[in-house]
């Protein structure tokens, strides 16, 4: 049916969307003071930045561009730095799957 590259691309896109949604939920929880993990940079500003970055990951899942795996890798690292661990790990996994294809 589909080639291996198409399957990896669909998997990367799905993981990016799921990771972005989890990242948005975690960022909102951090902003509300009920964060899953208690580290992160810049307090409220870091939560807002993490929210924006997670939304960008969702958009990259819906409409990937040429260097999407590299961009997802950077986004995953920034999400982890700003305290969004689970979403950041899922986005990093998406970047890894996309880099393999």
What pLDDT sits at residue 16? 94
Q: Please tell me the pTM assigned to this model.
A: 0.89
Percent of the chain with pLDDT over 70: 93
Number of C-beta neighbours around residue 31 at 10 A? 16
- 79 band by pLDDT with thresholds 50, 70 and 90: very high
Contact 91, 23 (CB under 8 A): yes
What residue ranges do the domains of the chain occupy? 4-100
* Interatomic CA distance for residues 2 and 23, integer angstroms: 30
Can you tell me the mean pLDDT for 68-93?
A: 92
Residue-wise pLDDT for 35-76, tens only, equals: 777 767 777 888 899 999 999 999 999 988 888 899 999 999
- 34 band by pLDDT with thresholds 50, 70 and 90: confident
What pLDDT sits at residue 9? 87
């Amino acid at each position: 049916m589909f080639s291996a590259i198409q399957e990896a691309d669909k998997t990367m896109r799905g993981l990016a969307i799921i990771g972005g949604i989890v990242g948005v939920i975690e960022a909102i929880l951090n902003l509300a003071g009920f964060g899953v993990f208690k580290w992160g940079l810049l307090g409220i500003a870091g939560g807002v930045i993490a929210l924006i970055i997670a939304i960008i990951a969702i958009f990259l899942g819906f409409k990937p561009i040429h260097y999407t795996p590299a961009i997802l890798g950077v986004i995953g690292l920034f999400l982890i730095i700003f305290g969004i661990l689970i979403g950041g790990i899922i986005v990093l996994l998406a970047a890894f799957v996309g880099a393999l294809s």
